[in-house]
Structure 1
Amino acid sequence: MNKQKKGMLIGLLIVTLLLPYLIQNEFYLHVLTSVLVYAGLASSWNILGGFAGQLSLGHTAFFGIGAYTSTLLYVYLGISPWIGMLVGGFLAVIVSFITLYPSFRLRGVFFAMVTISFGEVIRILFVYFRNKTTIPYGVTINYEPSFTNMIFDGPMGYFYVSFVYLLIILVISWKVKNSRLGFFLNALKENDEAAQALGVPTSASKFKALAISAFFTAIGGTILVQNILYIEPESAFSTSISTELALISIIGGIGTVAGPVIGAIILIPLGESLRALFSGSVQGLHLVLYGVLLMVVVLKNPNGIMGFISSFNKKRKKKREVQLEEVPDVRG
């Protein structure tokens, strides 16, 4: 990374950190916090779905496991959500190994179908076992603001927690993409059989991507539920969560580090604006518009918005090279 890009990145980070002080409207700050959380969740999904090419539509299971684990540990045992979210993350990794590891032999739509079934089975099992206990359908988290409880008396605290979460997963995504594991995952995405023939540890590489993806998706579930202070099975294990994470990554630029962030910056404010405009009277309208936007972007450039940016930069570079070649040599 050159000095100019580093300077732009540092400037962007500083501006982002100052946003809560510049924006006084709580609704806008709530939307920005949602952008950060969903950018982090989509970046987590992208490690498996983008880098490894394993299109999962069952990440809602990891989200729900993380959210419910931290919530139940806090509400019933008094364990801080900071600890609970780590427990939920490791539990999501264990569940992912037991359920999805055997499915790595499947590719494309077949793997996607398995992950959809996986998410729905986890939801059904949770509802079934919940009925065998005294846990209510919806669990409310008592409003007791403190850093230990991960509950804040204003939106600013949630903003910075979400910012740190996104920053961590972006650093990890960049590290993975530019590491030996990242090269293995890219080879598997391009041609699974050829990569295996060349000695790439296919199952081990895919599981590493799955473990990282599941862990940080579960972490995101905890952060989001601590912001809302309420959880129920239908929302925590909703298939729409998996769909949104995939759409955010694909529209922004699947398989790139910045793609999920760009996708979240566009889609989350759009969805929140539609909910505010129609007051929730038209359920799922934002998903319809997401789908339309997805079709437009994919038809124009299958690599998403990052593909547009990359193509523009290449054309500009080529144009500059042509202009330099046309400059007459006045030496001599």
Structure 2
Amino acid sequence: MHIIKKNKFLLLLGIVALLLPLFVHSKFHLNTLILLLLFATIAGAWNILGGYGGQLSLGHTIFFGLGAYTSSLLYLNYGTSPWIGLIAAAAISIAAGIFIGWPTFRLKGPYFTLATIAFAEVIRLLCLYWRDLTKGSMGINIRFEPGLSNLIFREYSSYYYFALVLFLISLAIVYWVDRTRVGYYLKAIREDEDSAETLGINVTKYKMIAMVISAGLTGVAGVLYAQFMLFFEPESVFNLNFSIEIALIAIVGGMGTVYGPLLGAAIIVPLNEILRSSFPALSGMNYFIYGIVLVLIVSFMPNGLMPVLKRIPKKFKSRKKVQVSGSRKKTAS
């Protein structure tokens, strides 16, 4: 019965998501929804490696930025459609994930995290100084030529549906990971890597599987970002604050859960956009309030919001059982 109710709720949520652009016409609100879905996709990809595998990467902007640059440079320099750029971006991001993961997976705890930050910083500096290819700090400016083949649209609603499809694909992949041997092995590695290896789990292999999936999805999300914003530069796509925000979305929503990144994005992205627009004169005020909210959530709900929400129906059920048993005792007496 619980599964049926859950499926009905998800179906209703899906219908609402499909119909939302018909009722929301404000560019600000549509922009927020697009960013919400984009961040939920990236946080979901990060969650496979960081949430399930316990590998806390703060260098995921590597794959995001490489995806954006790969597709955009192919489009601008060779006239390659961004649809083909999606494949190329995923391939380059996966190759970078394997290159980075192979040496860094030997490290544990904060050393792995620091190594991912270092790699992201190296890539950022390379993009800044390799001006002949990346235009350096001048950034990449994509011509506004609307068309489905260019993945450039006049209407924000078109970007919304593309972001929705990408998110649903990422959600299906995370769901598959959660319900298969890959997810169980990754959770075992997260809990105790040495014990998992003793039990016969090929730790490096499953970390690499998580890295490949995570890097590929993040690279594809970078393509959507590039075609939506039409301008980006190294500081925007390889920013450490961006990496931290991705991780925080998954942490706030619930690491190692299927819907945690979506829940985290649904809270953090609108909050960030509203605060940024509410305090335009006070530089940094939005980050101050944003930080307080995040500290409160992480302090009082260290496992994120999703585990708390899962416990609510159980509490109602237990209360109903107590009430029913109490009423039976009264009638019996």
TM-score bucket (shorter structure): over 0.9
Partner of 2:16: 15
- 1:300 matched to 2:308: no
Partner of 1:183: 184
Secondary structure of the 1:40 match is helix
- Deviation of 1:175 after TM superposition, in Å, equals 0.5
Over 3 Å counting, the alpha-carbon distance change for 1:291 and 1:254 in structure 2 is farther
- 1:42 matched to 2:43: yes
In structure 2, distance between residues paired with 1:131 and 1:140? 14
Deviations 1:184-225 (A, max 9, x none): 001011111111100111000011001100111111111011
Deviations 1:28-57 (A, max 9, x none): 111111111111111111111101111100
Is the contact made by 2:124 and 2:238 (CA closer than 8 Å) also made in structure 1? yes
Opposite residue 323 of structure 1, the aligned amino acid is: Q
Over 3 Å counting, the alpha-carbon distance change for 1:12 and 1:134 in structure 2 is closer
Over 3 Å counting, the alpha-carbon distance change for 1:286 and 1:106 in structure 2 is farther
Is the contact made by 2:127 and 2:134 (CA closer than 8 Å) also made in structure 1? no
Is the contact made by 2:185 and 2:206 (CA closer than 8 Å) also made in structure 1? yes
Q: How many residues align?
A: 329
Opposite residue 253 of structure 1, the aligned amino acid is: G
Higher mean C-alpha displacement, 303-312 vs 195-204: 303-312
Partner of 1:194: 195
- Deviation of 1:317 after TM superposition, in Å, equals 2.5
Partner of 1:227: 228
Structure 2 residue runs of 5 or longer lacking an equivalent are none
Opposite residue 123 of structure 1, the aligned amino acid is: R
Is the contact made by 2:58 and 2:243 (CA closer than 8 Å) also made in structure 1? yes
Over 3 Å counting, the alpha-carbon distance change for 1:151 and 1:281 in structure 2 is farther
In structure 1, distance between residues paired with 2:63 and 2:134? 23
Opposite residue 313 of structure 1, the aligned amino acid is: P
In structure 2, distance between residues paired with 1:37 and 1:29? 12
Over 3 Å counting, the alpha-carbon distance change for 1:58 and 1:34 in structure 2 is same
Partner of 2:141: 140
In structure 1, distance between residues paired with 2:18 and 2:276? 27
**What are the residue-to-residue correspondences of 1:1-332 with 2, within 5 Å?**
2-128=3-129, 130-133=130-133, 135=135, 137-279=138-280, 282-283=283-284, 285-328=285-328
Opposite residue 231 of structure 1, the aligned amino acid is: F
In structure 1, distance between residues paired with 2:112 and 2:7? 38
Deviations 1:135-175 (A, max 9, x none): 36222111110000000011011000000000000011011
In structure 2, distance between residues paired with 1:23 and 1:115? 39
In structure 2, distance between residues paired with 1:297 and 1:140? 38
Is the contact made by 1:67 and 1:85 (CA closer than 8 Å) also made in structure 2? no
Over 3 Å counting, the alpha-carbon distance change for 1:76 and 1:82 in structure 2 is same
Over 3 Å counting, the alpha-carbon distance change for 1:134 and 1:7 in structure 2 is closer
Deviations 1:68-106 (A, max 9, x none): 000110011111111112211111111111122221122
In structure 1, distance between residues paired with 2:260 and 2:286? 20
Opposite residue 275 of structure 2, the aligned amino acid is: L
Over 3 Å counting, the alpha-carbon distance change for 1:8 and 1:263 in structure 2 is same
Cα-Cα RMSD: 1.7
Opposite residue 310 of structure 2, the aligned amino acid is: S
- Deviation of 1:321 after TM superposition, in Å, equals 2.7
Secondary structure of the 1:148 match is helix
- Deviation of 1:280 after TM superposition, in Å, equals 7.2
In structure 2, distance between residues paired with 1:108 and 1:297? 23
Percentage of identical aligned residues = 41
Is the contact made by 1:247 and 1:290 (CA closer than 8 Å) also made in structure 2? no
Over 3 Å counting, the alpha-carbon distance change for 1:287 and 1:51 in structure 2 is farther
- Deviation of 1:2 after TM superposition, in Å, equals 2.1
Deviations 1:248-282 (A, max 9, x none): 11111111111110111111111111222233751
In structure 1, distance between residues paired with 2:71 and 2:21? 27
In structure 2, distance between residues paired with 1:290 and 1:211? 32
In structure 2, distance between residues paired with 1:275 and 1:258? 26
Is the contact made by 1:169 and 1:216 (CA closer than 8 Å) also made in structure 2? yes
Opposite residue 328 of structure 1, the aligned amino acid is: R
Higher mean C-alpha displacement, 19-28 vs 285-294: 285-294
Higher mean C-alpha displacement, 67-76 vs 131-140: 131-140
In structure 2, distance between residues paired with 1:74 and 1:202? 38
Opposite residue 194 of structure 1, the aligned amino acid is: S
Secondary structure of the 2:265 match is helix
In structure 1, distance between residues paired with 2:302 and 2:275? 26
- Deviation of 1:324 after TM superposition, in Å, equals 3.2
In structure 2, distance between residues paired with 1:281 and 1:62? 33
